Chains A and B, each alone.
Chain A
């Protein structure tokens, strides 16, 4: 792969190194690719994570990648989760079958994540109120929405590039 994209998660996930055409297109938008990488770091590894720990962010990212049936991306976030120090809770969250059990805060975060990542159109004011009732401050609600929103973007860019590569 060209040096420009050797550390770029989207380019690597899309397998851009194996396609001259996809690589050339990405090189034409090198600024956008660099900014995309910067948003990944802001959503997954912020200097100030607020009430959403880096491990929880990585765990939710594994979960969303799995909900979207992207196993390679789930692997990427699993590695990030291990680096952040996965506890029992985070390991559980990364499994889409887990709903948070009795823990109100965690259940609310999981329910919101599943809804916003898979059925954003169905989100209602009550879904935000449920987070507030579970004791999650508004700043963390925004952080959680941004994490979900970034993942939706990243997953789609990767999927689009894979199709581009397949038909090149």
Chain B
């Protein structure tokens, strides 16, 4: 359909599911619990309502997602978003890329990195530390075997310690997961008035 967005953007689109979201009115107690639906919080996105079709996975994936992206210590939050965006660029998840590129921009207070990433894709050239992070996340996302010891050494040479490297492995890998839901189970579509 013509309103589907195919180009990367930092304007967050609307997400239109390709499969049926669950009906909140018919949700099981387990689903309501996983959705964190309470009388004061009844707003749930279509995306999460789609995932509630597999409630056992949703229930454990949400805390995992939050821990990997927001845990204290280790890799800075902006750099985790760079890893997440790298995966989303490789997997062409326009929606995920929009969300996480714009979070990067807010956290880093610098839009030039994502401008280069969206313009040049996987080949984008960045500063040494950002470049090492981006390259590693791109290769791990393409195929686990595509990342090699040189890519890992580049992370160490750029000053990342073991804890930071682990956080990068986790955030890039997590978007191997997220992209396979968001990009597979729905389409990014323009919000009213959104430029395409």
Contact = CB atoms under 8 A, between A and B. Distances in A.
Contact of A120 (B20, B61, B169, B183): B183
Interface residues of B, number: 56
B140 interface: yes
Given A120-B179, A145-B180, A159-B144, A47 B56 contact: yes
Nearest to A127: B184
B158 interface: no
Q: Is the interface of A mostly helix, strand, loop or mixed?
A: helix
Contacts of A21: 162
A156 B169 contact: yes
Contacts, number: 168
A116 B180 contact: yes
A41 B64 CA distance: 13
Contacts of B170: 29, 32, 157
Interface of A: 21-22, 24-26, 28-29, 31-32, 35-36, 38-39, 41-43, 46-48, 50, 68-70, 116, 118, 120-121, 123, 125, 127-129, 138-139, 141-143, 145-146, 148-150, 152-161, 163-164, 166-168
The 8 A-B pairs at the shortest CB distance, nearest first, are namely: A160-B169, A159-B144, A156-B173, A149-B180, A121-B92, A142-B53, A153-B177, A138-B19
